[in-house]
Amino acid sequence: MDAHRGRLLRLCRLLLRDPEEAADVVQDVFTKAYDAQVQSRTPGDWAAWLTRVAVNACHDRRRAGWWRRFRFASDRIEDIPVAAVDPSPVDRALGEETRRRIWVAFRALPSRQREVFALRYIEDLSTAEVAAVLGLHPGSVKRHLFRAIRHLREALGGAP
Amino acid sequence: MSRCLTDRAMTRVLAELGTAEERAHLAVCAACAARHRRREGEMAEIAHVLAATPEPRARTARAATPWIAVAATATAVAAGVWLSIETGTRVETPPVRDPRIARALADITTALFSVDGEPRGPVAALEPDAMHETGCEAAARVAGIYCADAAVGLDEGTGALDVGIGGPAAAGEDGRGEGA
């Protein structure tokens, strides 16, 4: 389970934006996993099960807490990300402005496109796996992915 | 397929929506294959940024909040004005029935809102002759309105308005009143 913790935390942060809320969701996911194990409802593929539960939990959070997030958007100093002490070669090559544009473009995507892109390119799931996690038809996943790629490339100054 | 893939077709292939023809072209066209690899590299870069770098602090979200509040307030005010116009709920002032009060109001209006010495609007129709009287006459008339029995005159020494109580008979012949 610990092996999945970092992965789920990263995924939930991408889908939710607020790190604290993402940590809460991951905690809830592991609580559900524990309950499932106690009740002998052990899924065949823990990774897929955890991902599916996490994505659904993020979906519920987004739907329920939009006003709270809007009203109490955090400005605390501890929430400001600290720059990496030793950036990787890729980070050095990309530059701050490009990274900012990527994040802005990603946040501007509709939630479904964001989910599809994150699962496909960051979680490295296949189209069929993404479809299974999100409960969508594979054709829909591909269309969402197409739109997400197009928007991200447009935002980065590339041809759609 | 001999023609190279468009950008849109390239994105379709990347999203696994490409046709068999497009995929076959990618296999034989070195230029398109290179473009495809470059796009895959871009997606990998984006994925790396999203997965491995902290999200920059949103700079516009907080700044937008006051504007949202201002816009909401303006919308509410506009809706209120529109609603009051639509429903006809205006504040109606009752007509003045007492002629003395009406004349007093006319004088005040003349004094305050006339830009060329002439009254405006319905005031002008009230008492045309009264509009051409001198300032002293008007003052005397106003005093007479508020105190019907008052004797009104001007003090010759100071030019100040002298109002005596007790009716016209109480005023002297020269209009100075009892005390004059």
Report domain extents, chain A. Answer: 1-75, 90-160
- Distant-in-sequence, close-in-space partners of B83: CB < 8 Å, separation ≥ 6: none
Of all residues in chain B, the one with the smallest CA distance to A84 is B53
| Subunit contact A121:B17, Cβ cutoff 8 A | no
- The letter for the amino acid at A2 is D
The CA distance from A117 to the nearest CA of chain B, in Å, is 9
What's the CATH code, domain A90-160?
Answer: 1.10.10.10
Residue A150 predicted with pLDDT over 90: yes
| Subunit contact A100:B57, Cβ cutoff 8 A | no
Report domain A1-75's class. Answer: mainly alpha
Q: What is the pTM of this model?
A: 0.56
DSSP 8-state symbol, B171: S
d(CA B109, CA B94): 17
Residue B123 forms part of a structural domain: yes
Cβ neighbours of A94 in B, within 8 Å? 45, 49
Residue B180 forms part of a structural domain: no
What range does the domain containing B21 cover? 7-52
| Subunit contact A73:B62, Cβ cutoff 8 A | yes
Residue B69 forms part of a structural domain: no
Domain count, chain B: 2
Query: B55 with A17: CB under 8 angstroms?
Result: yes
Neighbours of A152 (CB within 10 A): 24
The ipTM, to two decimals, is 0.76
Residue B151 forms part of a structural domain: yes
Convert the pLDDT of each residue in A113-148 to its tens digit.
999 999 999 988 999 999 998 999 999 999 999 999
| Subunit contact B54:A82, Cβ cutoff 8 A | yes
Convert the pLDDT of each residue in A26-36 to its tens digit.
888 888 888 88
Residue B142 forms part of a structural domain: yes
